[in-house]
Each structure stands twice: as C-alpha cells, then as structure tokens.
Amino acid sequence: MTLLDQPAGAPLGSVWPPDAHGPRRDPAPLLPDPEPLRVLGTSVADKLDPELLRELYRRLVLGRRYNQQATTLTKQGRLAVYPASTGQEACQIAAAMVLRDTDWLFPSYRDTLAVVSRGVRPVEALTLLRGDAHHGWDPKAHRVAPLSTPLATQAPHAVGLAHAARLRGDDVVALTTVGDGGTSEGDFHEALNFAGVLNAPVVFLVQNNGYAISVPLAKQSAAPTLAHKAVGYGISGRLVDGNDAAAMHTVLSEAVEHARSGRGPVLVEAVTYRLEAHTNADDATRYRTPDEVTAWQARDPLHLLETHLREAGLIDDAAVAAAAQAAEELAAEMRAEFHAEPELDPLSLFEHVYAEPTPQLREQAAMLAAELAAEADAR
C-alpha cells in the first residue's frame, strides 16, 4: 500500500495539522456556478429594469462603432496597433457601469472601450496605441489606471490600491480586467493571493475569449474553469456568459457589492469571444476556423440584447436608429480628433520616470533640449 492508497484521516494519537497551519475552510461557498450564468432568454430578464436594458443596448451600439472606427484608423495609419474588443463589448461596458465614480478601474491593453465607458475621451484612451506617449489621461481624475500591456501586471496594483483605500477608511472598490492568457502569469496569482489574505475590496474580471493570442485555452490551463482558480486563494469565483450584457451587469454588480461590503474579493470569469483577430498584426485564420467564428457570431452580444429588447417590446426601429445615430456621432468625433496631428514634446520622454531625475537623465534631457533649439534656429 502506498501513502496515496491509505484512507484519509488524522494519524492515531495526534492532532494533524497543527493550528499554526491555519484553519481549513469549506470550499463549497467559493465555488463558481456550474455553467455560465445567463439572463437573456430566461424569466429573470423580465424582472430587470427596462431602462437598464436600454442603456446597456445604447452602450453596446456605441462600443461596436467605437471598435469599428478604431480599426479603420489603424488601417489608415492613425493608430500603430489596435486590439479590438469586438464581441467582448458586454464585458467592457458592464465593468465600467457597475463602478461608482469613486471606484478604480485597472485595465489591460484590450480594454480601451471600458476606459472610454468611464468617461475618458477616445483620443486620450488610444494615445498609447497611437504611439504618441505612454499614457493619455489623468488617472486620478477618471480613477482609471494606465493601460497595462504586460499581462496581469496591473492586478497587484489593483489589490494594493484597494487595500490602501480600506486602511484609510475610503469606500473604494478596484476592478481589474485580464484576459485568459493573463491568468497563466505569476502576477495574476500573486494578486489573488494578496487579495485573499488581505480581504481586499477588489474584483478580478477575466475575459476568457478562448485564446492567448493564438494559444487555445486548453493549452493554457487544466483547471475546470478559470473561475475555479479563485478557490485556491480563498476567493469567491463566479462564471458568467460574457456575451449576455444583462448577465454581465448582474454578476459584476453583485461582485462589486460583495467586495465593498467587506466580504472579500471576487474573481469573475466571463466566457466570451473576440470576433476580430488579436490585433491588426494578427492572422486569426491560422489558428481558428470560419465555422468557429460563425458559431460565435450567432452569439454576438449586440444581437442577443437587441433581439430580447425587440421581442419584449422595449425598443422599436426609432430607438435603434437613434442609438445608431449617436454611434455615428462618436465615430465622427474620433475621426476629427485623430486626423489632427498631435503636438508632441520630445522632452516629455524624461518625465514621470523618477521623482527626482538622475544626473544622467538631466544630462540627456539637456542635450536633447540643445539639439531641439539648434534645429529650431536652423529653420
């Protein structure tokens, strides 16, 4: 008989493990839903506020047009790169809607729609992707941290801010977004561990679109679901249909309230799909089939919600046309702002690197300033 074959239980005549190893907890309350939670198409949808559903629809229409226009700007050379969130709009707008003005959002590079939904102007949200500067908006004014290109490095920042706010007595929740690929990163696990130990008021939203660029989820994780990873850190896990805008708003609202009330952090896994390639530099046909994409287009979040609203008599053709007109106005605003050449200051390269610049940086800045002055004089 091997050790693994022996029946479970404490050795005779001893108490094992000793108390110093911490209490053992029943994991059942932390386990995620067995299937992704859905609201649209169920009786629950009939009980939701019609105005909330209309607002979700309006924001979905804006979000879809925003993605289309940003992609077009990339093809025109106005953006260096754009990772579209087409198909994932329900995740992003719901994440922004459930936060109070005093809460914080910690986005990843694909989450500019969530940033715009928090009130940041598109031209500012897309500054990094335009290649103008590292960052384009005032994080404190909008309570939105800079876009994080390295995977999941923003997650420990969210935990740190949330914990600090709690220590100061501020009623703040931090929500951070990450893709399924980010859940394989060390920063993600460290953030979950700290969040669980500190009971920090933070929500982790994992947008599981099935691929880490081209690597399918089955080659990234052997967990039953990504939401199950929460349990190992003593955190509640939730599993939701990321293409169901009503379900996303419901689950994220509950998660934020759970964290705000002091009951601890929550990990929400939203099962979704990006309908476009990873970025404009990617050829998605090399790793996924047309049939797969077609199947997910049938579950387009915009189509799902519009169908429900029409069947429930909550919108008509005039309302659909009004939402489309507002989206066109947003696109026109984006075109106007991006067709204007930005005024850049090369010396800003040296800002926000150190609180007190090093002698070497001061020397380099002075050298660049002299070169710029000489160039101006020569004109």
- Residues serving a catalytic function are 274, 278, 287
C-alpha to C-alpha distance for 135 and 128, rounded to whole angstroms: 5
C-alpha to C-alpha distance for 362 and 344, rounded to whole angstroms: 20
Number of C-beta neighbours around residue 242 at 10 A: 30
Among 158, 250, 171, which Cα is nearest to 204's?
158
C-alpha to C-alpha distance for 20 and 11, rounded to whole angstroms: 18
Residue listed under structure tokens 């935990």: 159
Strand partners, 148: 108
Residue listed under structure tokens 């102007």: 121
C-alpha to C-alpha distance for 324 and 253, rounded to whole angstroms: 27
Strand partners, 267: 204, 237
Among 126, 240, 267, which Cα is nearest to 183's?
267
**Burial (CB count <10 Å: 0-12, 13-18, 19+), residue 118:** buried
Helices then strands, each counted (H, E), the chain: 13, 7
Q: How far is CA 6 from CA 17, 24, 276, in A?
A: 17, 21, 52
Q: How many Cα atoms occupy the beta-carbon half-sphere of 364 within 13 Å?
A: 11
Residue listed under structure tokens 């007190």: 356
Beta strands 211-212; 202-208: pairing state: unpaired
